[in-house]
Amino acid sequence: DAGVIQSPRHEVTEMGQEVTLRCKPISGHNSLFWYRQTMMRGLELLIYFNNNVPIDDSGMPEDRFSAKMPNASFSTLKIQPSEPRDSAVYFCASSLGDRVYEQYFGPGTRLTVT
Partner 1 sequence: GENVEQHPSTLSVQEGDSAVIKCTYSDSASNYFPWYKQELGKRPQLIIDIRSNVGEKKDQRIAVTLNKTAKHFSLHITETQPEDSAVYFCAASEDKIIFGKGTRLHILP
Phi and psi dihedrals of 3, rounded to 5?
Answer: 85, -175
Question: Nearest distance from residue 106's CB to partner 1, in Å?
Answer: 7
Question: Nearest distance from residue 52's CB to partner 1, in Å?
Answer: 19
Number of residues binding to partner 1, judged by CB under 8 A? 17
Question: Nearest distance from residue 87's CB to partner 1, in Å?
Answer: 16
107 is an interface residue for partner 1 by CB under 8 A:
yes
Bridge partners of 94? 32, 104
The residue within the footprint of partner 1, chosen from 13, 68, 78, 105 (CB under 8 A), is 105
C-alpha separations of 93 from 14, 29, 31, 84, 85 in Å = 27, 10, 8, 24, 22
- Footprint (CB under 8 A) of partner 1, residues 45-74: 45, 48, 56, 58
DSSP-assigned letter for residue 6: E
Contact by Cβ (8 Å): 79, 87:
no
* CA 32 to chain centroid: 9
Segment near partner 1 (CB under 8 A); pick from 17-25, 37-45, 64-72, 80-88: 37-45
Q: Which residues bind partner 1 (CB under 8 A)?
A: 33, 42-45, 48, 56, 58, 91, 99-100, 102-103, 105-108
